[in-house]
Structure 1
Amino acid sequence: MCYSAQIEADYDKFVREWGAVISLKRFVELFWEKRKDGQWVKIPKAMREAFRKPRGEDEFELATLVAEGDREQIEKYAAELRAQNERLAKAEAILAGAKPTKAAAKDQEVASRKITAAQHNLDDMQRKQPLDKDSRIYPGQYAPVMIEKDGKRIVVPMRYQCRLPGWTEAMERQKPGTYNARRDNLERVWGKLFGHRHGIMIVSRFYENVSRHKMEGRELRPSEKEENVVLAFDPQPPQEMLVACLWNMSPGGDHDIDLFSFAAITDEPPPEVLAAGHDRCIIPIKPDYVDSWLRPDPNNLQALYGILDDRERPYYEHRLAA
């Protein structure tokens, strides 16, 4: 499964290299909706920063939304920091008095932890220097996905966890793994999308959860508990990969706003990924197949399988993720 990925959020690159049009309407809808429901951080920092400086009147509304959304989030973290500092001061005053209590000790511990988290989040929101983590997505967050409509390539912001056709929000909560579309299930589980709604996410790195003993190529020792580690996989030579995806649009699916969501197609891993302890891998398609992939023929699924099989095959170096 693709637990996390380093995405391309430079919209100019989509336009310049792939001739795509940015769906500003969908970005505006998403930014408004995430501000309203308090989920602003579901939009990766790199996606927001890309619209901070408008390059024309069409992007001015997005730039305004980014500035206001960031300001509101900063105020939220600052308010949390003030509240927890007050809680800590009260707890420490009780603990320093004649009758310290267990409740005050607990408040001191919780407030200290929450102060650290709030300060970290506040610093991260105010940070100007870009970091790799700004463009890293996780299931439930949003990424730009290139699709084709009416003969034009369009970049649409989509949630990285696909809500399948006919599903409700309650149904998808029961099956949270739909950010991963297994190649061996494309016709059975994903049949309403495979051959119909194809997309491409541009990725420079992906991350996976693996067991430490598998990463080290050994069995668990007696009485040893399984330990999870996160590995970063970098293609060699370094490159941007055109990851094959399936997507869906659920009308009114998220607070009465159409929900665009997607999944990355995964397959059996190459030997170096398997040796590192993971059993799935994304599928980067070749640039020559972009048109054929984005314009699928549902009556010729074998041609689509052929695109997935004749994939780019970089060597994936791995390391422990920071």
Structure 2
Amino acid sequence: MCYSAQVVADYKKFVRTFGATMDMHEFARLFFERAEGASKAKIPKAMEDAFGEPKTDAEREIKALIGRFNAEQTTKLEQDLFKQRKRLADAERTLQTKVTKAATESQRIATDKIAWAKGKLEDLQRTEPKPRDSRIFPGHYSPVMVIENGRRIVRPMRYQCRIAGKPASYDVKYPGTYNARRDNLEGFWKPLFGYSHAVMLVDVFYENVQKAKLEGTLSETHDQRENVVLEFRPSNGELMHVACLWSRWSAPDEPDLLSFAAITDEPPPEVAAAGHDRCIIPIKPENIDTWLNPDASDLAAMYAILDDRDRPYYEHRLAA
């Protein structure tokens, strides 16, 4: 499973590299629904920062929606910070006279929540970019590229695919649908494979790995639940054009949901040696247009693209 990835969140990269057109309507809808409270969309900071210097009226509208949402978040965080500081002060006063379990726990919780709120406020106010600003997790949004009517188009989509026609409860029933296993493309993913293909640009991907597998020790010597997060990065430093499937989900009285899944396959030797059993599939640049224009009557051609993948060597290290 591709548990997390550091993606190209700035749509301008797609425009410069592929001559793609931004679907401004979908970007505006995403930010509008979040600002209105109609959705709880999780959007990477880098995706917001891409609108920091708007050039068009549409971009200025999106920047205003981002500013409105962030101002509301700032107010909520400041209010929570005040509340938790009071809670901490009350707990510390109690502990000065008598050590109780309740006061100790209240002190711990307040301290943790203060640190979390301060970190969120710092991120909202920060203008200097950091690598983590582009990192997505399941349920987060990312720009992906599709082709419609012969045009390359960039749209924001959620990284957990809900196939059109399936109930919203599938998000909970099948929480792993941010990845589409290659060996299940004609099973669970049959409605999309050969019909709705996309590409995500990825710099780095992250995987949860059992510590015992990473260290090559007997599993009996470790807690089976003890995991570490590894960062995998192509040694050539090049972007990965990751093969994806996507869907537009619609339902009465519900906003449309655009969502996608990254296709995964058996891992290359160096990823397997690090203790992980799946890997995303970066396709070659010359195959992108064919991948984005799938022919459901010729799935063999689609499998051939997945087989003829880019094959960088993946260096790994413990994630920061």
Shorter-chain TM-score tier: over 0.9
Aligned positions of 1:1-322 closer than 5 A: 1-37=1-37, 42-97=42-97, 101-222=100-221, 224-226=222-224, 227-252=226-251, 256-322=254-320
Deviation digits for residues 33-78 of structure 1, max 9, x if unmatched?
Answer: 2233386671000000001221122211011112112222222211
**Worse overlay, 36-45 or 236-245:** 36-45
Identity %: 53
What amino acid does structure 2 have at the position aligned with 1:160?
Answer: Y
- Residue 77 of structure 1 contacts residue 122 of structure 1 at CA under 8 Å; is this kept in 2? yes
Are the structure 2 counterparts of residues 108 and 213 from structure 1 closer, same or farther at C-alpha, using a change threshold of 3 Å? Answer: same
Gap regions ≥5 residues in structure 1: none
CA distance in 2 between counterparts of 1:318 and 1:22 reads: 33
Instruction: Let me know the Cα RMSD of the aligned residues.
Output: 1.7
- Residue 164 of structure 2 contacts residue 250 of structure 2 at CA under 8 Å; is this kept in 1? no
CA distance in 2 between counterparts of 1:106 and 1:267 reads: 45
What amino acid does structure 1 have at the position aligned with 2:83?
Answer: A
**Worse overlay, 190-199 or 145-154:** 145-154
TM-score when normalising by structure 2: 0.95
CA distance in 2 between counterparts of 1:3 and 1:292 reads: 27
**Worse overlay, 47-56 or 67-76:** 67-76
- Residue 203 of structure 1 contacts residue 242 of structure 1 at CA under 8 Å; is this kept in 2? yes
TM-score when normalising by structure 1: 0.95
C-alpha displacement of 1:119: 1.3
CA distance in 2 between counterparts of 1:26 and 1:303 reads: 31
CA distance in 1 between counterparts of 2:48 and 2:78 reads: 20
Gap regions ≥5 residues in structure 2: none
Deviation digits for residues 195-234 of structure 1, max 9, x if unmatched?
Answer: 0000000001100000111112222244x31320000000
CA distance in 2 between counterparts of 1:105 and 1:317 reads: 44
C-alpha displacement of 1:237: 0.4
Corresponding residue SS for 2:316: strand
Deviation digits for residues 90-119 of structure 1, max 9, x if unmatched?
Answer: 22233334x665433332222122111111
- Residue 52 of structure 1 contacts residue 66 of structure 1 at CA under 8 Å; is this kept in 2? no
How many residues are aligned here? 319
C-alpha displacement of 1:9: 1.6
